[in-house]
């Protein structure tokens, strides 16, 4: 089973690419989100840096029970509620602060 990858917006909504492809990852999603805001990242790391500064959290569901949550600033209340629901469904949450600040 491949990992499910998406961003969690500050309002707690899941963000994926509008024209989703099977291999879309955080980089592609981030580029699409940033382009819609008129932001042109310089490189791969810059995509993540901008996304975290905008308050998005990076989510990777590795399997049915392991969820990685990476964020820049602290999670918003809406993001915390979303992550709590994942945990209540039996997910093991691995939360980490991003190195891209």
> How many folded domains does the chain comprise?
1
Q: What is the pLDDT of residue 11?
A: 97
First CA to last CA across the chain, in angstroms? Answer: 31
For CA atoms 8, 56, 63, 84, give the dihedral sign.
Answer: negative
- The residue range of the domain holding 49 is 4-97
pTM (whole model) above 0.85: yes
- 4 pLDDT band (50/70/90 cuts)? confident
């Amino acid at each position: 089973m491949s990992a499910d990858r998406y961003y969690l917006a500050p309002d707690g909504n899941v963000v994926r690419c509008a024209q989703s492809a099977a291999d879309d990852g955080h980089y592609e999603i981030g580029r699409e989100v940033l382009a819609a805001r008129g932001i042109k990242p310089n490189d791969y790391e810059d995509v993540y840096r901008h996304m975290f500064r905008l308050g998005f959290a990076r989510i990777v569901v590795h399997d049915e029970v392991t969820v990685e949550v990476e964020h820049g600033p602290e999670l918003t209340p809406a993001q915390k509620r979303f992550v709590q629901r994942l945990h209540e469904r039996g997910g093991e949450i691995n939360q980490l602060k991003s190195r891209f600040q």
